[in-house]
Structure 1
Amino acid sequence: MTQGSDVAYSAATRFAKLRGKNGARVNVLGAGLWGVLDAFLFLGFASFVAWNLYLLAMEPLATTLVWTLLLSIGAVNLFGLVLAVRKNKLVYTAIFYFNLVFFSVAPTQQIRNRFDPIFADLDLLQDAVLMVLVWSILCLIGLRFATRPRAWRSAVPPVVTRQRPLPTLWLASASATAIGCLVVGSSLFSDRETAGKIITSQVGQVGGLLFVGAIFPFACYAAIVGMSIAVKGRNPAAQFAFATAIAGSLVLNNFLILSRYQFSVLVFAGVLFLFNSERAGSRILLSLLGVGTIVAPLFNVFRTGTSLYLGNGGFDMFLTTMDYDAFSLLCHTLRHVETSGIDGGWNIVSGILFFVPRNVWPGKNEITPYYLIDTLRAYRGLWNYNLSEPLIAEGFFAWGAVGAVAIAVAFLALVNRLEGPAIEQLSIRGLFRCASPIIVLMVLRGSFMVGMSIIVGHFVAVSLSIWLAKGSSRRSSS
């Protein structure tokens, strides 16, 4: 295992070369403190991937080809993760982290621990692993085209540094938090099912989608923007006021009644927006993602009251749970298309138009796992279709292999647009970029319809927060 890690690190050092600002070739792993820290992170991830592959190789549960493909997936994504971190590409750091956890280590553990009987179909398993490898290579190619120098323009416009938008932002955040708490009522610290029923009864299904998807996160984004302005203006009183506003908004968006990912989006966005730097942003993100993965079981303890469970094998079974079953759902999608054919893209259209009520469009698709429930019930004994469905599986469900490649290319093109060369911090793109790593994790995990609702909701909340900051400044100066 140590020898394999050394070989992988040597290969990354030899091939990780990119063009610098003047065309000079630079070593991505670099030197000095940052290079040492990056090498430590790389070797840590490489050792974990290699250890799980070694354990799988000790049992005759996968063919040599499947094992080799899993090894290739791990190597490609480890290499991509190093590049993304060194280039401070937040979204690509999240993408390669997702690939490592959900498409490299998790499948390796789940195959070895017989998580899903469908893995016994070695031909199907081989096709799924090959599709993941193609996706990983496309991600690496996408990163290559996103390596132009990026300038984070952190200077705040003069009208903003005069602190004029602060009352508006604080009032907007406090009002959104108060209204949200009134709608949720006594179910604020209950559970998702109870809170969902109360919200729907208060404002209806469409209203509930608006509140949870946009108004709830807006309460936090407005406070984050206000805090950034207060910090840059060195206004201690305003900093305290917005600190309380952020705390109140996180109480409203707590993980007991909402998705853990929504809570994580807001926390990560705040940390990255307030503390991001030209060199440390992706490292902060990677560190938080690693810690978040390790402590994630605690969220289930708080939500369900059950004891903390790491499996009989400890970390050898840590990812053998439904939270990390994206690869399993990919296999079930391949089986569904094999037996029932493609959907023709209606799952994509329905996802984009998620906000259209079913009484207006009776033929709108359900989320894709709904159509996989027969095999999920037969193989895994599942009756609830509120499950994940990875992005490439959505593309395959729509148009087969062509759809999987097409949706991957389209997604990476949008990522490259977000990760462009020049970003003003106090802008819609600047703030949304800080929120996007966790949003991207949710989109990649799926389903597509759920991911689209998250993107649109948070984009509206971010846009409104920035508009209030800049709009109130322009009105005050006129």
Structure 2
Amino acid sequence: MLNLVVSNPISNPRYLFGTVFFTICFMVFKWKKGSFINAMLSMLVLVLIVFPYADIFRNSTNAKMDIQNTTEQLVSNGDYDAFQQLLNTVKYVDLKGIENGKQLLGAILFWVPRALWVEKPDGSGKMVGEYLGYKFTNLSCPLWAEGYINFGFIGVISFFFFLGYLTNILEQKFIFSGKSRNFTFSLVWVPFLAAYQLFLLRGDLLNGIAYMSAFILFSIVYIKIGQKREKVKLLKIQALRGIE
């Protein structure tokens, strides 16, 4: 609950609040019959109604709420730029060609300082926006577009094949860990990724991987400590049973 309060949408980016909120929901509430429908309805309400106004007071306490209908929001609000950015990426590739993995490499090696890698690529959303003459370049780049700008249609297929393959592995491990009651990485990562994938799919990939890596790093430390404590606890129990 403390994490939810600290990550509130008033003082933090909405993706952070959304990820924390949905991760907690996935971990606390048991998945039952009808849960999928309830989750989808809740998601629609949050994305179409709550999301556009969630950060209205993040930068100023004097902000005024300008209520718009849903259609106007979808057309004029930059929060819903994913489809347009997909079209922009197709246009970029038509004019300049694919990047042959350069953007993917930049996303994977996000941690390399630009002082050491002078030609390190910007995020795909920013790069496409600048190339097409956008003045505002804080833009998304959906995963479909990331695959396309890197390797064309083969990239789109490959990206989502890998995503599906990885999701299946984690899901199976999550189910097994739940049945065996073992404290594993999948018990933490699956609820997080289930929530975070909204941001990851919207892109761009560089920011998506960078923010996700911080969680994965700290979760590894947390889980290792938890597993060590469980092991010590188990050894103590075994020792007590041996004495008896």
Between the aligned partners of 1:360 and 1:257, the Cα distance in structure 2 is 33
**Aligned twin of 1:300:** 55
**Aligned twin of 1:353:** 109
One-letter amino acid matched to 1:336: Y
Does 1:413 pair with 2:165? yes
One-letter amino acid matched to 2:54: F
One-letter amino acid matched to 1:427: T
TM-score by length of structure 2 reads: 0.82
SS of aligned partner of 1:362: coil
The one of 317, 323, 343 equivalent to 2:99 is 343
Count of residues in Structure 1 that have an aligned counterpart in Structure 2: 226
**Aligned twin of 1:259:** 13
Q: For the structure 1 residues 374 and 274, does the alpha-carbon distance in structure 2 shift closer, same or farther, using more than 3 Å as the test? A: closer
Superposed displacement of residue 376, structure 1: 4.4
SS of aligned partner of 2:55: helix
Superposed displacement of residue 343, structure 1: 1.0
Superposed displacement of residue 283, structure 1: 4.3
Between the aligned partners of 1:417 and 1:283, the Cα distance in structure 2 is 24
One-letter amino acid matched to 1:268: F
**Larger Cα-atom Rg:** 1
Between the aligned partners of 1:310 and 1:449, the Cα distance in structure 2 is 33
Between the aligned partners of 1:277 and 1:353, the Cα distance in structure 2 is 36
TM-score by length of structure 1 reads: 0.44
The one of 152, 155, 162 equivalent to 1:400 is 152
> Does the 8 A contact of 1:330 with 1:393 survive in 2?
yes
**Aligned twin of 2:188:** 431
Between the aligned partners of 2:13 and 2:136, the Cα distance in structure 1 is 17
Superposed displacement of residue 286, structure 1: 2.3
Instruction: Map Cα deviations across residues 345-367 of structure 1 (whole Å, 9 max, x no partner).
Output: 11001101111111222221111
Between the aligned partners of 1:295 and 1:451, the Cα distance in structure 2 is 22
One-letter amino acid matched to 1:282: F
> Does the 8 A contact of 2:125 with 2:141 survive in 1?
yes
Following TM superposition, where does structure 1 have runs of at least 4 consecutive aligned residues deviating by more than 4 angstroms?
none
> Does the 8 A contact of 2:10 with 2:56 survive in 1?
no
> Does the 8 A contact of 1:373 with 1:385 survive in 2?
yes
Superposed displacement of residue 280, structure 1: 5.6
Between the aligned partners of 1:308 and 1:376, the Cα distance in structure 2 is 31
428-437 or 452-461, which deviates more: 452-461
Superposed displacement of residue 375, structure 1: 5.4
Q: For the structure 1 residues 375 and 346, does the alpha-carbon distance in structure 2 shift closer, same or farther, using more than 3 Å as the test? A: closer
Superposed displacement of residue 398, structure 1: 1.0
SS of aligned partner of 1:420: helix
**Aligned twin of 2:44:** 290
One-letter amino acid matched to 1:269: T
Instruction: Map Cα deviations across residues 424-466 of structure 1 (whole Å, 9 max, x no partner).
Output: 2443212211111221111110001111113222222333333
Q: How does 1:147-186 map to 2 (within 5 A)?
A: none
> Does the 8 A contact of 1:269 with 1:435 survive in 2?
yes
One-letter amino acid matched to 1:429: S
Q: How does 1:274-285 map to 2 (within 5 A)?
A: 274-279=28-33, 281-285=35-39
One-letter amino acid matched to 2:142: P
Between the aligned partners of 2:118 and 2:199, the Cα distance in structure 1 is 26
Between the aligned partners of 2:170 and 2:98, the Cα distance in structure 1 is 31
> Does the 8 A contact of 2:140 with 2:203 survive in 1?
yes
Residue identity (%): 24
One-letter amino acid matched to 1:407: F
SS of aligned partner of 1:458: helix
Between the aligned partners of 1:291 and 1:272, the Cα distance in structure 2 is 17
Superposed displacement of residue 302, structure 1: 2.3
SS of aligned partner of 1:264: helix
Between the aligned partners of 1:431 and 1:276, the Cα distance in structure 2 is 15
Q: For the structure 1 residues 283 and 433, does the alpha-carbon distance in structure 2 shift closer, same or farther, using more than 3 Å as the test? A: farther
Between the aligned partners of 2:36 and 2:224, the Cα distance in structure 1 is 27
> Does the 8 A contact of 1:297 with 1:308 survive in 2?
no
Gaps of 5+ in 2: 236-244
> Does the 8 A contact of 1:298 with 1:308 survive in 2?
yes
RMSD: 2.3
Q: For the structure 1 residues 274 and 431, does the alpha-carbon distance in structure 2 shift closer, same or farther, using more than 3 Å as the test? A: same
Does 1:449 pair with 2:201? no
Q: How does 1:19-30 map to 2 (within 5 A)?
A: none
